[in-house]
Amino acid sequence: MSAEKLIVAKNLVKIYKRGRSEMVRALDNVSLEVHPAEMILLYGPSGSGKSTLLQLLSGMDKPTEGTIEYRGQDITTWSDADLTKYRRDEVGFVFQSWELIDHLTALENVEVPLYPTKIPSGEVRTKAIQLLRKMELLDREEHYPKELSGGEQQRVALARALIKEPKVIFADEPTGNLDSETGEMIMRMLKIVCRQGTAVIIATHNESLRKYADRTIKLFDGKMARN
């Protein structure tokens, strides 16, 4: 494991208001460190706070208490514009539902995150093709999402998450809608990505994914138990 720290989160508390008076303590004093090229599994039952933690670490929401340093800078103090930049340039997302764009081909879906940039289109295409090759999808590049299996769609989504070369990938139940064999394939792909230098943080309630992780962090009722 690299000694360099990519993310250092300390004493995170997240309290949601539900209705007029009820408070939900979704995270209760959670601290963790993420190193480059490390695969961390956030494991716990439904409602234990996994998605909440991913949302805080990825700058989609702010904690009620606590700090989150990304390469030494506390992102909880950042402006919305800085957080947008962080999500755009540093972070990749993979969700349970892959949310590909129906009227674009697999190749175009992978290219989408680079459309608003100044990178020449030929370069974008080359990168997208390389990523599809890495995901073992090269023969599917002209297919539309509805012509692809669930596992293939998830691999397109993973290639899309990778095209901006994020430092860290957050994956929320990435195998949740897949059969176990296809889910294992996604995990193997994530592992390859991880070994090439990207940190990967996966939230799951699926115990069988633990074997892929360098480290598992167990959440229960918003609290952490490392093992």
Footprint of Mg ion (CB under 5 A): 50-51
Q: How far is the CB of 47 from Mg ion (least distance, A)?
A: 8
Q: For the CB of residue 118, give the shortest distance to ligand ADP in the complex, in Å.
A: 36
> Does residue 16 touch ligand ADP according to CB under 6 A?
yes
Measured from the Cβ of residue 80, the count of other Cβ atoms closer than 10 Å reads 8
Under rule CB under 6 A, residue 18 binds ligand ADP: yes
Residues 34-63 that bind ligand ADP (CB under 6 A): 44, 46-52
Query: Which helix (H) or strand (E) segment is 180 a member of?
Result: helix 180-195
Nearer to ligand ADP, 52 or 216 (CB): 52
Output 127-131 pairs: Cβ under 8 A, ≥24 positions apart: 127/163, 128/159, 128/163, 131/159, 131/162, 131/163
**CA dihedral sign, ordered 205, 70, 30, 55:** negative
Task: Answer yes or no: are the C-beta atoms of 114 and 189 closer than 8 Å.
Answer: no
Size of the site for ligand ADP (CB under 6 A): 12
Going from the C-alpha of 43 to that of each of 30, 109, 221, the distances in angstroms are 14, 30, 12
How many C-beta neighbours within 10 Å does residue 178 have?
21
- Give the three-state DSSP class for 116: coil
- Please identify, using beta-carbon distances, which residue of 107 and 203 lies nearer to ligand ADP: 203
Decide whether 98 or 128 has the Cβ nearer to ligand ADP.
98
Using CA atoms, how far apart are residues 93 and 166, in angstroms rounded to an integer? 9
Q: Which residue is nearest to Mg ion (CB)?
A: 51
Smallest separation, CB 92 to Mg ion (Å): 18
Under rule CB under 6 A, residue 24 binds ligand ADP: yes
CB of 83 to Mg ion, least distance (A): 21
Residues that bind ligand ADP (CB under 6 A): 16, 18, 24, 26, 44, 46-52
